[in-house]
A and B are shown apart, each in its own frame.
Chain A
Amino acid sequence: MGTERKSGFYTVSGRPIKRLYGPADGVRDYAGQLNDPGVFPFTRGVHTTMYRGRLWTMRQFAGFGAAEDSNARYRYLLANGQTGLSVAFDMPTIMGYDSDHPRAEGEVGKVGVAVSSLKDMEILFEGIPLDQVSTSMTINAPAAILLAMYIAVAERQGVPPDKLNGTIQNDILKEYIAQKSYIFPPRPSLRIITDIFAYCSRHVPRWNTISISGYHIREAGSTAGQELAFTLADGMAYVQAGMEAGLRVDEFAPRLSFFFNAHNDLFEEVAKYRAARRLWARVMRDRFGARDPRSWTLRFHTQTAGCSLTAQQPEVNVVRTTVQALAAVLGGTQSLHTNSMDEALALPSEYAVRVALRTQQVLAEESGAANTADPLGGSYCVEALTDELEAEAEAYFARVEGLGGVLAAIEAGFFQQEIADAAYQYQRRVQSGTQGLVGVNIYQGDEPVTIPIHTVDEAAVERQLRRLAELRRTRDAGAVQRALAELRQAAAGTANLMPPILAAVKAYATLGEISGVFREVFGEYRERPLF
């Protein structure tokens, strides 16, 4: 028997955990529930050899200041063994405003790099051969514009679009649900997205056209189960939208990718990734009738949980990040970002970013975690949690359908309220001490923070504003106006928007001007505030 030190044991999501899991919780049907890696339903991984064939891509999200500042950081990361780029844009860029817009004041180059025109994009990737790196861009409402700029930069480097590898986040549904960087209303936003699917399937076939993201849902305070459920519900809504737009499912589904959070609770997180693969494979094959096995596989990027990091004793964040990154690796991620220890204090310093990258390298080269596929497969506990998370997600799918689908559920505030409730309950558990956090509510210390802090150079903002003013003065104004007029016409009709966007960026129309056309034609979205 023996007494236990607490009355109950729970995951970070509040899920009760049993003292012991046993054969009754384990695998009943190996081929149906798990099967080998690379084989339907892909519970154990999407590739036969997993990391023995190829390690995950180490992809640190970075960007700040003006284009030349971020270009220098990318070159630094590549020189230190990073294998893919991940671009963070500043808030004005994300919201479709140029750096000289009044609403951009104070925000230029702060949380990412400022990109207002093709000129900035050319500098951002200077000296980086775009046929040799893969680039992920965290951009949503204006994703089509940044993708067009990337294609145009590559063209100048002599790299054709069909040689480009990378990802645009392009997931607007989770913006309404959690991250809240939306511009336009849902319907025209979905139209832009399906236009991207269609355009890329023909012209940029290796590009991941969307990264359906649970990361931000989790950061906003959801549980692991909600992250899984809401993300896959969004994924299904995109597949539905693509098919309704007249695309064949196997035409675009192989390029859909996912993005999950890695939080502190090791086994629950591993189970979440495994459940995600199994759910997606079944949905794609059985519900949407996909025949191409590449449409069945859920490939995903992972970022460790920014919301788990503490401002107190920031060095301890390296340990948290290590456990979270291990969960992602044990869960079979395709690429990984590890957060820097200083992210609850400021944007990461170069020193902190290097330690974060080294964390991944230790996992890859020293821990042995990459030597075998799905090392936790068959664990009574992990299999039980995988089944539980799968069931929880399916229950949520039914509720969302009952509300009339994802868009209707967004409009009703359903996801938003579920997440706000979960965030508050979590904070209450921290407050009451049920959830211990080292340095916050247990083992506090009051030593001053001694790690270096990154600051954005104000000169970068000046440089960016000067460059934009110069561009507005020297470009062919007639060509810009013509391109924007054509874009307006396309937006008001039903033609694919990618060709006129591409023409506009090549004429050096700015991000703000192009977004401005869409704001005029499509209108802007405003949410009903709730808490």
Chain B
Amino acid sequence: MERRLRVLMAKPGLDGHDRGVKVVARALRDAGMEVIYSGLHRTPEEVAQASLEEDVDVLGISLHSGAHLTLVPRIIGRLRELGRRDVLVVVGGIIPGEDGLKLKGAGVAEVFGPGSDLDVIVEFIRENAGRGRERDL
């Protein structure tokens, strides 16, 4: 029996645009994953800590504040300090193309902008999550 994927959907930073994060959270839950939503206005440290405590396979980070280049690398850095290199990190929100490339360079697996297909997001997570865990163990 395969373990259900555990996902933390997180809203770091100060913006309160939570439509996207909630819609994706629900789509992942409908696809059979266990989804936890962090709530708003979380610090990078809180997001990384919650990923550890909830023992998640996937961390979805949603930002609409333009602070992605500051906050996302900080979350990933903290995750690594906590020994969780295996967590699949995906990002959603208004992320200009060039910034998306920078985020991928910093360890983000994929960036999903406005209008992304929910089925594509689900499929991407199914195909890529949990692999790092096997590799690391």
Contacts and interface: CB of A to CB of B under 8 A. Distances in A.
B117 A431 contact: yes
B14 A94 contact: yes
B94 A221 contact: no
Interface string A172-199: 0001000111000000000000000000
Give chain B's interface secondary structure class.
loop
Contact of A91 (B13, B35, B119): B13
Give chain A's interface secondary structure class.
loop
Interface stretch (A270-278, A326-334, A342-350, A393-401): A342-350
A107 B65 contact: yes
B71 interface: yes
Contact of A312 (B16, B67, B69, B115): B115
A307 interface: yes
B96 interface: yes
Interface string B54-82: 00000000001111011100000000000
Contact of A531 (B37, B41, B67, B71): B37
A512 interface: no
B15 A424 contact: no
Given A344-B94, A423-B22, A423-B23, A527 B113 contact: no
A465 interface: no
A531 B15 contact: no
A479 B23 CA distance: 49
Nearest to B36: A529
A511 to B, nearest CB: 14
A528 B28 CA distance: 20
A227 interface: no
Contacts of B69: 106
A110 B67 contact: yes
A30 B53 CA distance: 64
A280 B76 CA distance: 50
Nearest to A175: B16
B66 A110 contact: yes
Contact of A529 (B27, B40, B66): B40
Chain A interface size, as a band, is 35 or more
Chain B interface size, as a band, is 35 or more
Contacts of A111: 15, 64-66
Contacts of A95: 14, 41
Given A111-B65, A431-B118, A449-B97, A105 B22 contact: no
B40 A453 contact: no
Contacts of B117: 431
A531 B19 CA distance: 9
Contact of B94 (A94, A103, A346, A423): A346
Contact of B114 (A110, A344, A531): A344
Interface string B91-113: 00010110000000000000001
Contact of B23 (A181, A221, A437): A221
B19 A344 contact: no
B26 interface: yes
Given A91-B65, A431-B117, A107 B23 contact: no
A20 to B, nearest CB: 34
Interface string B116-135: 01110000000000000000
B8 to A, nearest CB: 12
B26 A424 contact: yes
Contacts of A344: 94, 113-115
Contacts of A307: 19
Contact of B15 (A91, A312, A527): A91
A311 interface: yes
A161 interface: no
Contacts of B38: 529
B66 A107 contact: yes
Interface string A20-56: 0000000000000000000000000000000000000
A346 B114 CA distance: 11
A365 B27 CA distance: 45
A529 B27 CA distance: 16
Contact of A103 (B14, B40, B96): B14
B49 interface: no
B40 A91 contact: no
Contact of B96 (A180, A423, A437, A453): A453
A310 B114 contact: yes
A214 interface: no
B96 A346 contact: yes
A243 interface: no
A310 B40 CA distance: 25
Contacts of A92: 14
A531 B115 contact: no
Given A219-B19, A310-B114, A529-B39, A106 B67 contact: yes
Given A95-B14, A106-B13, A345-B94, A527 B66 contact: no
Contact of A106 (B26, B70, B94): B70
A111 B25 CA distance: 25
A347 B37 contact: no
A367 interface: no
Contacts of B14: 91-92, 94-95, 97, 103-104, 107, 181
18 contacts: A104-B14, A106-B71, A107-B70, A111-B64, A111-B66, A180-B40, A181-B15, A220-B17, A220-B18, A311-B115, A344-B113, A345-B94, A420-B26, A423-B23, A427-B27, A427-B118, A456-B66, A529-B38
